[in-house]
Structure 1
Amino acid sequence: MTVTIAPLTEREFFAWYPLLEEYAAGAGVPVTDQHVMRVWTAVHAPGAHAAVAKDETGAVVGFVHALPFSRLLHADQGVQIEDLFVASAQRGRGVATALVEHVRGSSEAAGTPLLRWVARADDAAVKALQDKFAHAAGGWVLQTVPVG
């Protein structure tokens, strides 16, 4: 399958939305109209990067949302992939790799020194994808600490 990766535009909202719903359902996150608009606004904010994967027919089959984060000690910014999703029927065809490569390429072009993303430790497919790109996180471990 040939995919085309392009920035997420306003006219793709209704193609992107069902994929966001599927992604959120898989993560156990309820989706409300307010939630969707908050995500849509965030991925179109200055410095954010959102892209979609389209198949040969032009159908949207995946997306990636990436946001900048500050690296205070280095006095620069990195980019973090917040969401990466491919429609279940399209998995295993290189779509996720193409989406990550797209973010990696745009980050490199912008002079961003670091790209990271977080995934569930028990997701073997995502772990294998991360291993294609990562260098053992440079010895760093990111932990999640619940608040409240």
Structure 2
Amino acid sequence: MSTSNTTPWAVTPARAEDRAAWERLYRAYGAVAGEDLGAGHLARVWSWIEDPGAQTRCLLLRAGERAEPVGLAHYRLFERPLAGSTGCWLDDLFVEEGQRGRGGAGALLEHLAALATRHGWSTVRWTTGEANPAQALYDRLARRNPVITYDMAPAGARR
């Protein structure tokens, strides 16, 4: 269990009984990102989380071991050919608005760092928006990379 100044945070893998709480959190995350996550989208992502053979894994943040989840992190492993290692890619990190500023996002990130140590992953990597207020936290815990990322649409879908 991770702790902060105000809350004894618990970070746990998502379980089948967490589906409704996860859906509430992920819909809220989608809304912040300007995305309306429909039922089919949610069902697909949850099926990945439940499938041990899929890439996507989910951690949930709780204000105590048995509390309702108030945050989530979706992550997956990726191979790093140049480094000859495996890294962890953090796709989504979200803490409910009323719980922010109390160390929850840091607890999720520190949990991922501990998993990286335990499993021999060489890095935990993520991207963020230029205006994300969590950058101060990210700058304390990680090194900012000078790499620019691009998204290319599939052939035929480009404008």
TM-score w.r.t. length of structure 2: 0.83
Task: State the partner residue of 1:143.
Answer: 149
What percent of counterpart residues are identical? Answer: 28
Query: Aligned partners of 2:34, 2:116: CA distance in 1, in Å?
Result: 30
Structure 1 gaps of 5+ residues are none
Task: State the partner residue of 1:10.
Answer: 16
Q: Which runs of 4+ in 1 moved over 2 A?
A: 41-49, 144-147
Query: How far is 1:58 from its partner?
Result: 0.6
Greater helix fraction, Structure 1 or Structure 2 = 1
Given candidates 74, 79, 82, the residue that maps to 1:73 is 82
* Conserved? CA contact 1:49–1:103, under 8 Å: no
* Conserved? CA contact 1:5–1:98, under 8 Å: yes
Given candidates 92, 96, 112, the residue that maps to 1:87 is 96
> Counterparts in 2 of 1:26-65, with a 5 A limit?
26-44=32-50, 45-46=52-53, 48-56=56-64, 58-65=67-74
Give the CA RMSD over aligned residues.
1.6
Q: Which amino acid aligns with 1:131?
A: D
Partner secondary structure for residue 58 of structure 2: strand
* Conserved? CA contact 2:75–2:88, under 8 Å: yes
Query: Aligned partners of 1:106, 1:42: CA distance in 2, in Å?
Result: 20
Query: How far is 1:110 from its partner?
Result: 0.4
Moved more, 114-123 or 54-63: 54-63
Query: How far is 1:94 from its partner?
Result: 0.2
Query: How far is 1:133 from its partner?
Result: 1.6
Q: Which amino acid aligns with 2:147?
A: V
**Is 1:121 paired with 2:127?**
no
Query: Aligned partners of 1:5, 1:58: CA distance in 2, in Å?
Result: 11
